[in-house]
Structure 1
Amino acid sequence: MIPLNHRAVMAGRREPPKSLDYFPTAPWATRAFVRHVLPLLSPQPIRSAWDPACGEGHMAEVLRETVPAVLASDIFDYGRGYDVSDFLATGPGAPAHTVDAIVTNPPFKAAADFALRALALAPIVALLCRVSWLEGAGRYERLFRLRPVTLFAPYVERVPMHRGRWEPNGTTATAYAWFCWAADPLCTGIQMIPPGQRRRLTCPGDVARFAVPAAPSLLAAE
């Protein structure tokens, strides 16, 4: 588990295989979700959440700033102390927790599997995916036709995501949105996350907590 305000959380990190599609979430993007989307998914405060694709904790640790109880797990051991388990496993011993909400940034190729599994476990499910995840006849037949999204929440400003690390000054041409399902929502349809969140919700300690330290310069050692 990453301690709050820890200044060396990315030291000694383990690189996951590319097949896991690991693209960490910018901390400000999770805070924007908590501020603009999460309160619309339930008339009662959400007291517990589970991030089953937590990676190095970029999303789970930010959720812990607001949500009292946050569980975090991942199929890959990043060396952060989180539970190592396969969220998509079924049968005896499969991971399952009683929580108000499952909130995660799943691997793109397995996102539909994550959605279906999460919907069987929690009354509120929120997945951060590319907007293009809406497309595809196969995904529609398998998921959206039978379980239409309750709330679709796109970011007006782009959320930069980079494979294997969070880049504080990164840019992107890819659009992201939250795909949400809720049993008793306060709002349905489309809820756009307004611009200006990156500037407003980036905290001074985020780089120390979540960014991968730059490699030391060879010239500095001379």
Structure 2
Amino acid sequence: MSAASAKALFRATRPSPVAGVPLIADLPRQDAPADARDPLDYDPTPPDATAAFLGAEMDAILAHGRRVWEPAVGAGHIARVLAQHGFEVIGNDVQDRGWPGVILRSFFAVHEALAPIQITNPPYGQISARDGHGRWLTHALALQPGYLAMLLNADWPAARINGFDALFAKHPPSVEYLCCWKIDFRGGGSPPQRNSWFVWDTNRPAPGPNTWLRKRLYRDAPDARQGVLV
């Protein structure tokens, strides 16, 4: 085979780059096809993800009371499960998607915490290293919640760009719950990533810089099978 024909064959068989898939240096990122991605990064959280988390963290959350602020409440997918477990939920968002009593206000326009507990699945474009520069976390911590929990891409802490090294060194989470199943936010099946709940809890001993406890979270037995990763 001539050199020219070999090059043509290589071009024909070489896989094409996939749009939206990042380089490792850009982690974390969870792009979806343009026609599936909500412009406000609205990804409804299936109830089992919240129920499993509450099964593991209920006592720690209740130590801060029963008033919970869901600052990206959407249609109430997380808020509804919280309410079913006896919490009083205050929800705000930039768009009314049907949660009763939603406060229509940007999270970044709120300068005093609406409750001592924050539990949310924040818009990814505001929390990621590449797009949001960690803006959501920075603002959330500035409001000094007693308890903060966010459902994020499990690769999220791998980011180092845009000041994330300094952010994690100064504000490491208290604990991470790695979901041992892939959460299907959009109902399309075969979700591409794993997720974790990240918790900042003022009642827990302060972890060292870039150090936190990681536990496994199961949706099938949320009260009995949570375990520390070793």
Same fold (TM over 0.5): yes
- Asked whether the equivalents of residues 121 and 151 of structure 2 are also in contact (C-alpha less than 8 Å), the reply is yes
1:179 to 198, 210, 213: 198
Task: Note the C-alpha offset of 1:113.
Answer: 1.8
1:158 aligns with 2:193: no
Quote the residue 1:103 is aligned against: 119
Instruction: Find the aligned partners of 2:175 and 2:115 in 1 and give their Cα distance.
Output: 19
Task: Note the C-alpha offset of 1:48.
Answer: 1.2
Quote the residue 2:173 is aligned against: 149
Q: TM-score with structure 1 length normalisation?
A: 0.69
Instruction: Find the aligned partners of 1:102 and 1:195 in 2 and give their Cα distance.
Output: 21
Instruction: Find the aligned partners of 1:80 and 1:195 in 2 and give their Cα distance.
Output: 25
Quote the residue 1:7 is aligned against: none
- Higher Cα Rg: structure 1 or 2? 2
- SS of the aligned residue for 2:84 comes to coil
Map Cα deviations across residues 166-195 of structure 1 (whole Å, 9 max, x no partner): x3x844131010111010138961121125
**Greater relative contact order, per chain length (Cα 8 Å cut-off, separation 6+):** 1
1:19 to 29, 39, 43: 39
Q: TM-score with structure 2 length normalisation?
A: 0.67
Describe how 1:1-222 pairs up with structure 2 within 5 A: 18-40=38-60, 44=63, 46-81=65-100, 82-89=102-109, 94=110, 96-111=112-127, 112-121=134-143, 122-138=145-161, 140-162=164-186, 167=187, 170-185=189-204, 189-196=213-220
Q: Which amino acid in 2 is paired with 1:119? A: L
Map Cα deviations across residues 40-82 of structure 1 (whole Å, 9 max, x no partner): 456x263111110011111111111114311111112224441
Q: Which moved more, 1:126-135 or 1:95-104?
A: 95-104
- Asked whether the equivalents of residues 131 and 176 of structure 1 are also in contact (C-alpha less than 8 Å), the reply is yes
Q: Which amino acid in 2 is paired with 1:148? A: P
Instruction: Find the aligned partners of 1:85 and 1:149 in 2 and give their Cα distance.
Output: 27
Q: Which amino acid in 2 is paired with 1:123? A: G
Give structure 1 regions of 4+ aligned residues with deviation exceeding 6 angstroms.
Answer: none
How many residues matched?
173
Quote the residue 1:14 is aligned against: none
Q: Which amino acid in 2 is paired with 1:129? A: L
Instruction: Find the aligned partners of 1:38 and 1:100 in 2 and give their Cα distance.
Output: 15
- Asked whether the equivalents of residues 64 and 117 of structure 2 are also in contact (C-alpha less than 8 Å), the reply is no
Instruction: Find the aligned partners of 2:194 and 2:221 in 1 and give their Cα distance.
Output: 15
Task: Note the C-alpha offset of 1:197.
Answer: 5.1
Map Cα deviations across residues 93-121 of structure 1 (whole Å, 9 max, x no partner): x3533423100000112122222222222
Q: Unmatched 5+ residue regions in structure 2?
A: 1-36, 128-133, 223-230
% identical equivalent positions: 26
